[in-house]
Amino acid sequence: MGVVTSVGGFLEVGSIATAAQAGANFGLQLIWPIMLGTICVIFLIEMSGRLAAVSGHPLPAAVRQRFGFRFFLFPLLAETLVDYLVLASELGGCALALELMTGISFRWFALPVAFVAWLLLWRGTFGAIEYGVSLLGLITLVFVVAAWKTHPPAAQFLRSMLPSLPRAHKANYWFLVVSILGATVSPYLFNFYSSGAAEDHWDGKDLGANRVTATIGMGFGGMISIAVLVAAAMTLFPRHVPADNALQISWIVSTPLGRAGFWVFCAGLFIACFGATLELSLDIAYVYSQGFGWNWGENLRPAKAARFHAISTIFIFASCIPLLFGIDPLKLTLFSMAITTVILPLVILPFLVLMNDEQYVGKHPNGWISNSIVYFVIVMAAILALIAIPLEIAGGH
């Protein structure tokens, strides 16, 4: 499940767009926020899975039960807005991939893509979606091949793993840092992962597999995101191409791999964004259903979980509206990633309580390293929440 979470959540239009713009505008300099975000999300994903395996409660249900509905209402409303914007961005990413392949405007593809995604969610099972997206998502390894073919300088690559200060365009630099972290430490990843663990009936025997899955899955997504940045840094940065549109972003693969690389890029972009579309649609249905005590589960037929499937249906088609009005999916993506950071404190704070409460994690509470990571992410999230919107304005977005 970690791979489907990484392909359909970690690696999506947000991570691709932010990494490509970071590489195009600042070369290899912004590898460090991807690495930082990846380390944080590995720990948080592991905690989400451990919570579900030990307590039997996915994260939204545990938050609702432990803190009460009044507290739960705030992250619910915040995640509703953010999930809507990000879901629209993912549908836009699918539509942009089809626009590149056909030359037909992305507006015409929004509803057809939404319908196909809805049909899969309506008739499919969690396992079918999980393994289907995982297998197809391996095509995104094309970004690693493209990055390798560009022969990035090893010394500069290693130096870029450590934070550095920009020499110019400071507002845009820090805006991209915020956007990268927002695209990496995404709240819906935790809800989806823990709910998927519950759907797969994980228990205490799965804790070892959970650690491996979280590490490999999120590590896979981080590796691909870094590859996108490296490919952009080596192909677009020297030519001063800003990666402002999907065609320019496609050059990071087509430049080192030729015409075939262009088509594989389009397929990879579509699959990554389509996987995220399915995941986000399920996520918002999980959050509402678990919060209000409805029957829930992708493995339940619509007749058995009518409100669960109704929520995903409403959201997936409502998310087409911005695209039908012609809003640029890439601009919407960057805006969505920055806004995501604003709600992070609300989402991360419950980890500190739940992962140290014996009622939920029994004999498997957080150690000092995991608790330190949670404290760090809470502080980081609070800072990002304060500066995200001013940076978005100052950075020209």
Angle ∠(146,271,180) on CA atoms, nearest 5? 65
Mean pLDDT over 157-170 rounds to 86
- Per the structure block, which two tokens stand in for 279? 């995941």
pLDDT at residue 397, as a whole number: 53
| Domain, as residue range, for 100 | 2-394
Q: Collapsing DSSP states into helix, strand and coil, what is residue 57?
A: coil
- Per the structure block, which two tokens stand in for 248? 């320019």
Whether the full predicted model's pTM is greater than 0.95, yes or no, is no
Determine whether 56 is exposed, middle or buried from the number of CB atoms within 10 Å of its CB (0-12, 13-18, 19+).
middle
Q: Which residue has the tokens 């809800």?
A: 191
Weakest mean pLDDT among 7-11, 243-247, 248-252: 7-11
Mean pLDDT, the chain, as a whole number? Answer: 89
Mean pLDDT over 298-317 rounds to 92
Q: Where does the pLDDT of residue 388 fall: very low under 50, low under 70, confident under 90, or very high at 90 and above?
A: confident
- Per the structure block, which two tokens stand in for 385? 């929440």
Alpha-carbon distance 18 to 70, whole Å?
35
Domain CATH code at residue 323: 1.20.1740.10
Mean pLDDT over 354-363 rounds to 94
Q: Where does the pLDDT of residue 59 fall: very low under 50, low under 70, confident under 90, or very high at 90 and above?
A: very high
- Is the model's pLDDT at 130 over the cut of 80? no
Q: Where does the pLDDT of residue 6 fall: very low under 50, low under 70, confident under 90, or very high at 90 and above?
A: very low
Mean pLDDT over 24-28 rounds to 95
Specify whether the CB–CB gap between 276 and 88 falls below 8 A.
no
Mean pLDDT over 44-65 rounds to 94
Nearest partner of 331 among 106, 158, 154, judged by Cα: 106
Comparing 363 with 393, the larger pLDDT belongs to 363
Percentage of residues in the chain with pLDDT exceeding 70? 95
* C-alpha dist (Å) from residue 280 to 66, 117, 171, 250, 319: 24, 11, 30, 24, 11
Alpha-carbon distance 207 to 51, whole Å?
10
pLDDT at residue 341, as a whole number: 83
Query: What's the structural domain count of the chain?
Result: 1
Alpha-carbon distance 221 to 7, whole Å?
6
Residue 268's contacts (CB-CB under 8 Å, 6 or more residues apart) are 139, 140, 142, 143, 253
Alpha-carbon distance 187 to 84, whole Å?
13
